[in-house]
Structure 1
Amino acid sequence: MSGYTDEEGRTLRTAVYGAMVLVSVAEEGALDQESRAGIRAMATLPPEVRHVVGSDAPELPAGSVVDVENGVLAALRDSMSLLSARSAAQADAFADAVVAMCAEVASADGRVGRAEDAVVGKVRAALGR
């Protein structure tokens, strides 16, 4: 898995897919458009990370909406720690890509609502942006 353990891969997948899901469910919208926008934007992930993220099915935390959000935000923070330990440039590229993916998902229906913007803000904070 490109030098990542199974656990690290799960963390990265939870962070990437989870961030997109949090934005997508923040407000009613065009789920199909949002999903396609997020998947297209995944191309901006660093290649090694993109490979790991695409190598297996994503797993979201279980529990209430708050539990899922907290779990995804923790996975984002853990991903930054993991990637920063390997390469500051890769961590920066990851953070920029995840923020771009969230922005694409939020604006997929032609507008960004307040709740979507708030979730993007939480994602940015978890990534240290």
Structure 2
Amino acid sequence: MADYTDAERDTVRNAAFGAIALVSKADPGFLSSFKESLAGSKALAAGPKEITDLLRSGGFPSPPTGDAAAQEQAVLTGLTEAKALLTAKADGSAEAFSGVIMEATQAVADASDGVSPEEQAVIDKVRAALA
């Protein structure tokens, strides 16, 4: 695994957990949020070792601040930055990261009563941010 600074690890971790939070917020409700958070966390934990090691390093993720639109924009920008950072490391982790994030966001959406149109819209934005 390439060497990462604390700031780089924070960028990757915040983007990953922010993506699953965005999809979860698209389907409000306490029980839904609980099921979805668990599903997203399991999907992130099941990823390739280089990604799970990166996500587990450091402290807790920092949720974005501001209104819903600002939070969404911060997470999507973070995903793009994380992918660029991982691509620059040239260790193959960028594609693994994208795959894990897409699997996790899909797991979140599937966790409670199937994928709603709102959840699909967020997943599409996440996919675009990782492209």
TM-score, normalised on structure 2? 0.90
Aligned match of 1:65 in 57, 64, 68? Answer: 68
- Indicate the residue corresponding to 1:26 in structure 2: 26
TM-score, normalised on structure 1? 0.92
Deviates more, 1:113-122 or 1:61-70: 61-70
What is the alpha-carbon distance in structure 1 between the residues aligned to residue 76 and residue 91 of structure 2?
20
How many aligned residue pairs are there? 128
- For residues 37-87 of structure 1, what are the alpha-carbon distances to aligned partners after superposition, in whole Å with 9 as ceiling and x for unaligned? 011101343323312212220112211111111110011000110111112
- Indicate the residue corresponding to 1:95 in structure 2: 98
Q: Percent identity?
A: 39
Alignment pair present for 1:7 and 2:10: no
| Aligned partner letter, 1:124 | R
Unaligned runs of 5+ in 2: none
Alignment pair present for 1:53 and 2:55: yes
Unaligned runs of 5+ in 1: none
| Aligned partner letter, 2:102 | V
How large is the Cα RMSD of the aligned pairs?
1.7
What is the alpha-carbon distance in structure 2 between the residues aligned to residue 15 and residue 102 of structure 1?
12
What is the alpha-carbon distance in structure 1 between the residues aligned to residue 125 and residue 16 of structure 2?
14
User: Structure 1 segments of 4 or more deviating over 2 A?
Assistant: 43-46
What is the alpha-carbon distance in structure 1 between the residues aligned to residue 54 and residue 99 of structure 2?
17
- For residues 95-128 of structure 1, what are the alpha-carbon distances to aligned partners after superposition, in whole Å with 9 as ceiling and x for unaligned? 0110000000001013100000000000000000
Aligned match of 1:107 in 110, 118, 130? Answer: 110
**SS, match of residue 74 in structure 2:** helix
